[in-house]
Amino acid sequence: MSLQDKVYIVTGSSSGIGRATALEICRQGGRVTLHGRDASKLQGVADECSSLNQIEPPQIVGDVTDLEIQKRLVNETIIRYEKLDCLVNNAGNSSSYGGIDGTSLEDLRSTLEVHCVAPFSLAKLATPHLVKSQGSIVNVSSVLGQAASNVVISYSAAKGALDSLTRALAVDLGPKGVRVNSVNPGVIQDTDIGRVSRTAFDAFWMTPDRYPLNRVGKSEEIAKAIIHLSTATFTTGENYRVDGGLLAGCYWATNM
Ligand SMILES: NC(=O)c1ccc[n+]([C@@H]2O[C@H](COP(=O)([O-])OP(=O)(O)OC[C@H]3O[C@@H](n4cnc5c(N)ncnc54)[C@H](OP(=O)(O)O)[C@@H]3O)[C@@H](O)[C@H]2O)c1
């Protein structure tokens, strides 16, 4: 029960990495506020959480870019649990594909809004509570924040911005006792994103041969990394790759 009475907000917890994180928090004795746009999926996760820790978690339904939803996430957490120990900025998807010709300004703006502006806004709202608890923020980024791709320009730009935001906030909030880190996953198969191979690009990244560990990842492996960063008391400003070795070097599956 290493997270006994610790309070987390996990955005985008109706499926995938967010769901796995919420369940792992509850399994370890923590408490969670859930969030997503699909109320019925969210209710399913809430039922799974309460069967683990006997607490019915608050559920906030709505778009993460909506300021009113962001305020409700923080305010209803404080009303319910009277504190906040960790904000996990996880909500997002990579639905927008395209190089320079296939990416509109609107694609870029809306992707930045979900993956960078909303996490910043939530961080601002959460900071007074995190200063009180000496808590932390974990942003869910991607390997594409560190190694950009020409076929998902807006997603690469947004995750790169999130990585830099993570380090900037870590430097700013460190003196106040608040730590800020990101976890940067490779492809995670058991997520809504990972299940649907929509393009040859997706198929390329989902091939186990690309990974020195010879497989793609699982959402509970990312959940454990998120919880590790939330409790790693001397770690801040870290962009922490959990990618099976994907970006460690130029891996070639066949021996010469
Ligand atoms: N899966 C991967 O291979 C992979 C790799 C690297 C990074 N990531 C990152 O991991 C995070 C979680 O994704 P996932 O892989 O777990 O995918 P997922 O299973 O599709 O889950 C995405 C979650 O985010 C929510 N969401 C998406 N857009 C939202 C919005 N505009 N407003 C509110 N909620 C929103 C979804 O809610 P609803 O379904 O209820 O709308 C869902 O709960 C994302 O930030 C993604 O970029 C994923």
Contact in structure between 190 and 212 (CB atoms under 8 Å): no
The verdict on pTM exceeding 0.95 is yes
The tokens for 165 are 């935001």
Residue listed under structure tokens 């191979």: 197
Task: Clarify whether 155 is annotated catalytic.
Answer: yes
- Quote the CA–CA distance of 197 and 200 in Å, as a whole number: 8
Determine whether the shortest distance from the Cβ of 145 to ligand 1 is under 6 A.
no
Q: Which residue among 93, 162, 165 has the greatest number of ligand 1 atoms within 8 angstroms of its CB, and so is best to mutate?
A: 93
| Model pLDDT for residues 96-119, shown as the tens digit of each residue | 788 999 999 999 999 999 999 999
Residue listed under structure tokens 């320009």: 153
| Closest atom, ligand 1, to C-alpha of 187 | 3
Question: Residue 87 forms beta bridges with which residues?
Answer: 9, 137
Is residue 193 scored above 90 in pLDDT? no
Catalytic residue among 155, 211, 240, 251: 155
Determine whether the shortest distance from the Cβ of 217 to ligand 1 is under 6 A.
no
The residue among 138, 137, 139, 155 whose CA lies nearest residue 147 is 155
Determine whether the shortest distance from the Cβ of 202 to ligand 1 is under 6 A.
no
Domains and CATH numbers, the chain: 7-242 (3.40.50.720)
In the chain, at which residue ranges do the beta strands (DSSP E only) sit?
A: 7-10, 31-36, 59-61, 86-89, 136-140, 179-185, 239-242
Closest protein CA for atom 20 of ligand 1: 192
| Model pLDDT for residues 41-98, shown as the tens digit of each residue | 999 999 999 999 999 999 999 999 999 999 999 999 999 999 999 999 999 987 678 8
